[in-house]
Amino acid sequence: MKSRDVIIIGGGSTGLSIAYYLSKFGVDDVSVLEMNYVGSGSTGRCGTGIRAQFADEATIKMMKHAEGEWRELAEEIGFEFRQTGYLYLHHTEEELNQYRQIKELQNSLGVPTEILTPTEARELCEPLDVSKLTGASYNPEDGKAHPFEVVTGFKKYFQEGNVELRENVKVVEVELRKEGRLKKVETADGTYETEVLVNAAGGWAPAVGEMMGLDLPVEPYRHQAIITEPFKPGTIEPMVISMKHESAYLTQTERGGIIGGVGTPEDERPTYDTTETLDFEERVSRAFTAIIPSLKYARILRHWAGYYATSPDGNPLLGEYKVPGHYLAAGYSGHGYMMAPSVGEGIAELITSGETELPLDYYDPERIDRGELRDAAVQMG
Ligand SMILES: Cc1cc2nc3c(=O)[nH]c(=O)nc-3n(C[C@H](O)[C@H](O)[C@H](O)COP(=O)(O)OP(=O)(O)OC[C@H]3O[C@@H](n4cnc5c(N)ncnc54)[C@H](O)[C@@H]3O)c2cc1C
């Protein structure tokens, strides 16, 4: 039986980022256990988007910090973080005024969001139909990074360092000591002794919680996305968002495909089913062509589904939870990829020193038990 300082369950953006910061902070003995391959969960299925345009102080601060870290990580582990902005389209005066207020909050926290006229919006993305817009919000520091490049970057980085990353190793049991502390983590291929365990299992976090007798408030919701055949790269650079069109989000990858999707329907129930639906293709086609009419000529190349691992208030659950030494980092409800660097750094700080300057308190998982629900963060992408 091996003994490790920290065991991380889950090789998605969350688990990999926590392992990275732990190794930066000098924790030598870290293992990441992934039941499939890195990025095989929601991370490899995400829409690539990274933004600080949120409406609550904590998430804006987390994401302002994360964007700085994304820039440094990109250099250090070798992937591209393309800061091509997020462009929120507004269709009524009411929506525009609401976003003016949000912009003030973002600006006060160092996020340089601007309000643009429809013509200025079209200068950033020429094929947009701006005829029905009242304006747009734009933060040039927001951007995108390809999840495959990110997870393989981490993987290579760990190969040269101290972090043990094991793929195709499923955690099947967690054993606690009589006094309730962590004792052992059983996998399908060996046992580890540890006193610190991170549950970064995304949509499967509840199954890991059950191994410790915990009923975690996280539910998986299917969320679908598409990519089209490639077009001239650089045509749709910002992530374009339209709440009016079923919370549609779309942008272009470096190779030219248009990647994106629309929001999950209200009547969707929690499920582990990741079957793609024709209804989604219809909805996404209607929304995308209303936003950019020339996309009617685009063919969908690939369509897939993953999970939004959702918490009761639409915000992540981050921090030590119920069992001493058990850290939960799940329940992002749709924006967990972009938060990974701040979550990684914050959780690694909690593990190593018990404190962090990042506003992790806001996401304290115990808030749900106390009935202190936060306002839901805007979800799309
Ligand atoms: C279509 C779609 C688009 C999205 N777009 C965006 C976006 O643009 N921006 C954004 O920020 N977010 C986006 N998201 C959300 C984002 O993908 C997730 O919030 C994020 O990837 C969560 O990362 P994670 O590491 O916590 O979970 P995951 O990536 O799901 O990783 C969890 C891992 O744990 C492993 N695991 C589970 N149980 C066990 C076990 N018992 N033993 C070992 N391993 C186990 C799984 O195999 C999995 O690889 C999108 C999601 C979807 C589905």
pTM reported for the whole predicted model: 0.98
- Residue 211 CA to residue 377 CA, distance in Å, equals 29
Q: Which of 17, 32, 43, 378 to mutate to test the pocket of ligand 1 (most atoms within 8 A of CB)?
A: 43
Q: Is 303 close to ligand 1, i.e. is its CB under 6 Å away?
A: no
Written as one letter, the residue type at 6 is V
How confident is the model over 279-294, as pLDDT tens digits? 999 999 999 999 999 9
User: For residue 40, how far is its CA from the centre of ligand 1 (angstroms)?
Assistant: 8
How confident is the model over 200-248, as pLDDT tens digits? 999 999 999 999 999 999 999 999 999 999 999 999 999 999 999 999 9
Q: Are 95 and 260 in contact (CB under 8 A)?
A: no
User: For residue 325, how far is its CA from the centre of ligand 1 (angstroms)?
Assistant: 22
Report the candidate in 18, 43, 20, 251 with the shortest Cα–Cα distance to residue 144: 251
Does residue 363 register a pLDDT over 80?
yes
Residues 6+ apart with CB under 8 A from 177: 183
CATH class, 2-45+148-218+313-370 region = alpha beta
Report the candidate in 20, 252, 57, 310 with the shortest Cα–Cα distance to residue 156: 20
DSSP letter (8 states) at residue 237:
-
SS3 state of residue 33? strand
Helix residue ranges, H only, the chain: 13-24, 57-73, 93-108, 118-124, 147-159, 205-210, 278-291, 336-353, 366-370
Q: What are the tokens at 343?
A: 């979550």
Q: Is 342 close to ligand 1, i.e. is its CB under 6 Å away?
A: no
Q: Is 35 close to ligand 1, i.e. is its CB under 6 Å away?
A: yes
Tell whether domain 83-141+219-308 is in CATH 3.90.580.10: no
| Domain span(s) for CATH 3.50.50.60 in the chain | 2-45+148-218+313-370
Q: Which of 42, 70, 172 to mutate to test the pocket of ligand 1 (most atoms within 8 A of CB)?
A: 42
Instruction: Check residue 378 and give its pLDDT.
Output: 66
Instruction: Check residue 36 and give its pLDDT.
Output: 98
| Domain span(s) for CATH 3.30.9.10 in the chain | 83-141+219-308
User: For residue 131, how far is its CA from the centre of ligand 1 (angstroms)?
Assistant: 37
Interhelix angle for 57-73 vs 93-108, to 10°?
70
187 CA closest ligand 1 atom index: 42
User: For residue 146, how far is its CA from the centre of ligand 1 (angstroms)?
Assistant: 14
Report the candidate in 338, 255, 254, 337 with the shortest Cα–Cα distance to residue 84: 254
DSSP letter (8 states) at residue 208:
H
**Strand locations in the chain, DSSP E?**
2-3, 6-9, 30-33, 49-50, 86-90, 114-116, 135-139, 143-144, 164-166, 171-176, 182-187, 190-193, 197-199, 219-228, 239-242, 248-252, 258-261, 300-310, 317-320, 326-330
- Residue 186 CA to residue 171 CA, distance in Å, equals 6
Q: What are the tokens at 20?
A: 């990275």
Does residue 380 register a pLDDT over 60?
no
Does residue 143 register a pLDDT over 60?
yes
333 CA closest ligand 1 atom index: 19
Instruction: Check residue 159 and give its pLDDT.
Output: 94
Report the candidate in 46, 83, 44 with the shortest Cα–Cα distance to residue 260: 46
Distance, C-alpha 99 to centroid of its chain: 22
State percent of the chain over pLDDT 90: 94
Report the candidate in 283, 274, 332 with the shortest Cα–Cα distance to residue 308: 332
Cα dihedral value 123, 129, 135, 137, nearest 10 = -60
Whole-angstrom CA distances from 21 to 73, 239, 257, 361 are: 11, 28, 32, 19
As a whole number, mean pLDDT of residues 138-163 equals: 96
